Amino acid sequence: MVTVLTDTRLSVREAVEEDRQKIANLLHIELRIHRHLDWHSPMEWLGCAPFVVGEDQGRILGALACPVDPPGVAWLQLFAASSSRPVTEIWQALWAKALSMLDQQEGIIAAAIPMQEWLVGLLKQSGFTLAHEVIVLLWEYDQPLERQAVPPVTIRPMQQEDMERVRQVDASAFKVLWQNSQTSLEMALKQASIATVAEDETDLLGYQISTTSHLGGHLARLAVLPAHQGRKIGYALVNDLLRQFVRRGIFRVTVNTQADNLISLKLYEKMGFLRTGETYPVYQHVGEPAA
């Protein structure tokens, strides 16, 4: 367990709705901020435990959110620390409280994708170890896309009524750490630029969700039912997506995947995606809860 510093006046408690503006101010003015790469904004987790704050005489000096979503997984969604206190002090106090709340549930995996070295150090101090690595690949349009034989499936826009089946496909295609809850998938659909499903006469077999920004397109999510992998359904979804992007004048598309996901890597590299060299470490807590 984490050792909490005792020579501090920092008081730690669960965040409440009345804290919203104070937390927002902390996020606005401070530099030591971690936000998880997610469909949610940090403040959308307010009211979802664990979401805790540390305060001194009514002034919020730190905030930490690692809600359980999807079931069994608690990603570090937010950590913010005031520069008026040592970051280690604020982290240890908030993480100890959050961990005690997670310990009340069995089998929870706590994980984080740190984007700053200072957070890596804090995670290691608290029993997190490097467990995975996410790599970034880039596709750039330089010639017409090749037409290859595709399976007899229909690719159409994703609809709200597809979401339950999309969640089932997602759950079957990914290990628990990488699964999305139905709420997150519904938020992804609302934020998507292009979201499609592949189906035949019997079932919905796969889906993809993509976004756009000033940098280009981003394939945010791709999943195919395991029983139908190897039938080029993923290829059909990505090929259709790239064609849609090109028609919109978007000629750069990125995708992230786990370094050990050899099936996905083979698909993307076959379609012309190249590794950029950019990586994101994934740290996992090795105490209780643990994977």
- pLDDT score, position 227: 94
Q: Residues 54, 61: contact at Cβ < 8 Å?
A: yes
Give CA–CA dist 173/176, Å, rounded: 10
Give CA–CA dist 50/214, Å, rounded: 34
Structure tokens at 242: 């790239």
Q: Note down the domain range covering 162.
A: 135-281
Q: Is the peptide bond before 50 cis (omega within 30 degrees of 0)?
A: yes
In a shared domain, residues 71 and 203: no
In a shared domain, residues 264 and 239: yes
Nearest to 78 by CA among 94, 55, 57: 94
Give CA–CA dist 247/33, Å, rounded: 38
What are the pLDDT digits (tens) for 200-219?
A: 998 999 999 999 999 999 99
Query: Which regions of the chain are under pLDDT 50?
Result: 1-7, 287-291
What's the CATH code of the domain at 18? Answer: 3.40.630.30
Structure tokens at 287: 């105490």
- pLDDT score, position 8: 55
In a shared domain, residues 110 and 141: no
Structure tokens at 76: 């570090």
- Does residue 113 lie within any of the structural domains? yes
- pLDDT score, position 149: 63
Give CA–CA dist 252/218, Å, rounded: 8
- pLDDT score, position 148: 64
- Does residue 289 lie within any of the structural domains? no
Considering its fold, how many domains does the chain have in total? 2
Last residue of a domain, one of 87, 108, 126: 126
- Does residue 2 lie within any of the structural domains? no
In a shared domain, residues 83 and 188: no
Last residue of a domain, one of 126, 143, 162: 126
Average pLDDT, the chain: 92
Last residue of a domain, one of 126, 160, 185: 126
What are the pLDDT digits (tens) for 62-114?
A: 999 999 999 999 999 999 999 999 999 999 999 999 999 999 988 899 999 99
- pLDDT score, position 123: 97
In a shared domain, residues 115 and 162: no
